[in-house]
Structure 1
Amino acid sequence: MPKIKIGILKEGKVPVDHRVPITPAQANSIASSFPDVNVVCQKSNVRCFEDENYSSHGIELTDDVSSCDVLFGVKEVPIAQLIPDKTYFFFSHTIKKQEYNRELLRAVLKNNIRLIDYECLTNINSQRIIAFGRYAGIVGAYNGIWTYGKRYNLFHIRRASECFDLEDLQTEYKKVKLPKIKIVVTGGGRVAKGAMEVLNGIGIRNVSPAEFISKYFDEPVYTQLNNRDYNKHRDGKLFNRGEFFSNPEAFESDFKDFYQSADILIAAAFWNPNAPVLFTREEMLGRDFKIKVIADITCDIEGSIPSTKRPATIEDPIYDFDPTQDKVAPPLSDEGNITVMAVDNLPCELPRNASEDFGKELLANVLPNLVGEDKDDIIKRATIAENGQLRPEYAYLQDYVDGKE
C-alpha cells in the first residue's frame, strides 16, 4: 500500500486547548506498528507535551503540514488554517447543527476536505470507540465538589487545572470534608463513570435511587441514575429504553423526587433535544427544590437544565443562576441562587491523562481502519464530508449549510 503521512496539528482554536490526539510515545509506536505510516508533528507552544518530547521520540517537527495526507487535531480547526484536499480528524461540533460552526462546515465543503468527526466514530453497536468522556466526568465531579466547598466555605482544594495529573489531583481527596449531603449523578456512560470514580475516591457512599429518596443518612451519599430512573412514559406504559431513544417525545420527566432530595446535581447524561428536560425553571422556584450546586458536565446551553445559560471557562468555572429573574448572576452572590459549574472543555484541566487515554483508543480502534481495511465501515460512518459534498448519512445537514435553518 502507498505510504501515508500523518500530521499532528497545533491547536489553533481560542481559548487554547492543551490536549493532543497522539502523545509523543504513541507517535513513536505508530512507526513500529504501521510501517507504511510516517508521523510528523506541527510545532506548538501550547501543548501539554512540548515539542522536545516529540523530537526525543524520533518524531519530525515542522511548521508546515501541507505535505501530510491526514491531519489529526482535537478541537475545531480555524477556517483560515484549513488546507484544501486533506483528510482531517477533529471534533467539528456540527452534527447537531451548531450555529457557531456553520461557516466551518461550509469551508470544509468548499475546500474539498474529507472531514471525519471523532464523535461519530462508533462500532457496529453504535457505541463510541474514542472519547474524552471519562476525564470530563472526573474533572466535572471534582469541580462540583470544589464548588460546594467554596459555596459553603467548608474546605479548600486545588483546582484540577492546578494539578499535574490525575494522581496529583487524587491527593486532594483527603482534604474534602462534606456534611450529610446527597448527590445525584445522571447518566450511565463514560462521563458518569468518571464522575463516580471521584465520588468513590473521596469515600462518598453509593446508594440506590430508592434509598436516596426515601432514607435518611448520617453521612454524605450519592446515587447514579439511568434514563429509566427519571423519565416516564406519558401514557403510563412501562419504560422501554429502545422506545425512549427512538421516540423521546413520548416521555416526560420524573425527576421531582430527586430534586426534592439532592443538594448537588452532577449532570453527566447525554441529552436529546427532543427528550424531556430534567426540570423547569418554574420547578426551580418551588420551595421543594433543594439542589444548590449543579455541575453540568454536559453543558447543553438552554438544554435539559434551565440554569445552564452559558458555558463557563476553566479560568472562571462557576456562576450563579437566579431562578426568580431567569438570569445569570455573579458567582456566590446570593444564598437564594443556584451555583452552576458548566465548563465546556473539562478534560483540558487534566490534559496529559486525557490525551494518553484518547490516543490509546485512537491507535487501537481507529488507525487500523484508516490505514488498512475499514472493517465495519467505522471510518466511512464517521465521514461527514467528502469530495465537496456531505455524505448521505449527513445529508440532513444540507439545510443547515445552506442557511435555511
Structure 2
Amino acid sequence: MTELHLWLRHEHRTTERRTPVVPADARRLVDSGITLTVEESPQRIFPLREYEAAGCGGAPAGSWPTAPRDAVVLGLKELPDAPGELTHRHVYFGHAYKRQPGAAGLLRRFAAGGGALLDLEYLVDEEGRRLAAFGFWAGYPGAALAVLRHRGRLTAPLAPTTKDDLDAVLRPRPGDPEFTALVIGALGRSGRGAVAAFRTAGVEAVRWDLAETRDLDRRALLGHDVLVNAVLATTVVPPFLRPRDLDSPARRLRTLCDVTCDVGSPFNVLPVYDRTTDWAEPVRRLRERPPLDLIAIDNLPALLPGESSTDFSAALLPQLLAFGPGGAWGRCLDRFDQACRELGIEKREFDS
C-alpha cells in the first residue's frame, strides 16, 4: 500500500464545529508516517495552528477538490453541491444508504467521478458493531434541550458550549415542576447519553429498548411528558408514533426530541414530522391543543464540539492507523458498492 495521505476538510455546514481528528491524535498519525493536510476552518473547535504544531500541512478551506487523487478526504457532515463529480475516497457520514432524500444524487456523483464513500456509520467490526460514533454526545444534548424546553428555559439561537456550562443550566432549580421522561433506545450510546442528561436534570427517565418496542405500548408512551427517541432503525419497523396518535385524548406528551432524525427515510420510527429543526429555530410546534413541541436537530453533538470531537477522534484513530483495503474499511467499501448496485448505478473504478 502506498503512503496514506489524509485530507481533513473544512465543514460546509456553518453550525458544524466538530472534527473527526483532534490535534493530539493528528500528531500520532503524523508520527506513524501518515501525511495529514488540514484545511483552514474559521469554525472548527481546534484552530489550524494546533494541527500545524502537530506536524500537519495546511490548506485553504474548501480546497479538497484539488487534493492529490490518492488523498482520502476526511470530514463529518454533508458535502457542498459542487463539484458534480467526486474523484476522491471520502470518509464522513453520508446518510445515503437508507433512501434518504438526495441519496441517489450523491451516489451518482461518486460514481461519475470514480470516487467512493466510506461512510462512518458503516465502519463496523465483524459483528456489525460501530467502531466510532458520536452517540452519547447526541443523546446528552438532545435530552438536555428537551428538558430546557419543557421547563421554559431553552433560548434560541443555540450556540456551542461545554458540558460544564450546559450542566449548569440543566440542573434543577427551586420551583421546577416535576415531569416524567421516556428514553426509547436507552441501552445504546445515544440512549445512555439521554439517560445521563435526564439524571443531571434531576429526572430518572423510564428506559425502553428492544424488549419494550417489540410489543409497543403506545398508550404508555403517550402517557409521558417528555420523550427522547434514540433508536437507529436498520429495518422497517412499525412506527412508534403516528400522526393520529398526536390527536389522541390519551396524549400527555408535550415535548418530543428525535435524536435519530431519520425523516424522509422508510426506516423512520417517528413519521409525524417532515423536516428537521435547526440551531436558529430548534423547536417546532406540532400540535397546539394540547401543545406538543418537536426538537429534531441532526448534528446535536456539535453543541458540545470539544467533548464530542475528543471522544470520537480517540475511537477513530486506531482505524485510521490501520487504513487499508481490507477489514473495517473494506466493509465500508462493500457497503458503498452494494448501495450503488441497489440503485442501478454503474461506477467508474477508483484508480490511484
Q: TM-score, normalised by structure 1?
A: 0.76
Verify: 1:265 aligned to 2:227, yes or no.
yes
2:90 paired with 1:88: yes
**Alpha-carbon distance change, 299 to 84 in structure 1, aligned in 2, over 3 angstroms:** closer
Q: Which residue of structure 1 aligns with residue 163 of structure 2?
A: 166
- CA positional deviation for 1:52: 2.2
Task: Tell which has more relative contact order, 1 or 2 (C-alpha 8 A, sep 6+).
Answer: 2
Q: Structure 2: which 5+ residue stretches go unaligned?
A: 348-352
Distance in 1, Cα, partners of 2:41 & 2:5:
19
Q: Aligned AA for 2:213?
A: Y
Tell me the equivalent position of 2:55: 58
- Counterpart-to-counterpart distance in 2, 1:200 and 1:42: 39
Q: 1:352 aligns with which of 277, 291, 306?
A: 306
Query: What amino acid sits opposite 1:88 in the alignment?
Result: H
- Aligned AA (1:5): H
Q: Is the contact between residue 147 and residue 170 of structure 2 (CA under 8 Å) also seen in structure 1? A: no
Q: Distance in 2 between matches of 1:70 and 1:286?
A: 51
Count of matched residue positions in the alignment of Structure 1 and Structure 2: 337
**Structure 1 equivalent of residue 246 of structure 2:** 284
- 1:398 aligned onto 2:327: no
Contact 2:14–2:43 (Cα < 8 Å) also in 1: no
| Rounded Cα–Cα distance in structure 2 between residues aligned with 1:255 and 1:85 | 47
Deviation at 1:10, TM superposition (A): 1.1
Match runs of 1:303-318 below 5 Å: 303-318=268-283
Q: 2:212 corresponds to which residue?
A: 229
CA contact (8 A) 2:183 2:191 kept: yes
**Quick check: 2:45–2:305 contact (8 Å CA) kept in 1?**
yes
- Deviation track 1:366-395 (CA, whole Å, cap 9, x = no partner) reads 113315x83xx211111158xxxx52x435
Q: Is 1:301–2:301 an aligned residue pair?
A: no
The aligned amino acid for 1:61 is G
The separation in 1 between residues aligned to 2:15 and 2:203, in whole angstroms, is: 34
C-alpha deviation, 1:179, in angstroms: 2.2
1:181 alignment counterpart = 179
Deviation for aligned residue 1:136: 0.8
**Partner-residue secondary structure (3-state), 1:31:** helix
Cα-to-partner distance string for 1:159-196 (whole Å, 9 max, x where unaligned): 79545322222222335454231111000211101111
| CA deviation after TM superposition for structure 1 residue 72, in Å | 0.5
Aligned counterpart, 2:350: none
Residue 367 of structure 1 is aligned with which of 311, 316, 320? Answer: 320
Instruction: Indicate conservation of the 8 Å contact 1:24/1:54, yes or no.
Output: yes
2:295 corresponds to 1:341:
yes
- The 1:351–1:94 alpha-carbon spacing in structure 2 relative to 1, beyond 3 Å, is same
Deviation at 1:340, TM superposition (A): 0.8
Compute the displacement of 1:57 (Å): 2.7
Matches within 5 A, 1:314-325: 314-322=279-287
SS at match of 1:99: coil
The normalised TM-score by structure 2 is 0.87
Aligned partner of 1:356: which letter?
Answer: T
**Coordinate RMSD, CA, aligned:** 2.5
Alignment-mate amino acid for residue 7 of structure 2: G
Residues 311 and 344 in structure 1, CA contact (< 8 A), matched pair in contact too: yes
Deviations 1:272-306 (A, max 9, x none): 46201113222322211111111111223263224
Aligned equivalents of 1:401 and 1:99: distance in 2? Answer: 20
Kept in 1, the 8 Å contact 2:27–2:55? The answer is: yes
The amino acid across from 1:398 in the alignment is: L
Please tell me whether Structure 1 or Structure 2 has the larger radius of gyration of its CA atoms. 1
* Distance in 1, Cα, partners of 2:279 & 2:179: 26
Q: The residue matched to 2:245 in structure 1 has which SS?
A: helix
CA distance in 1 between partners of 2:273 and 2:231 (Å): 14
Q: Given residue 207 of structure 2, which amino acid in structure 1 is its aligned partner? A: Q
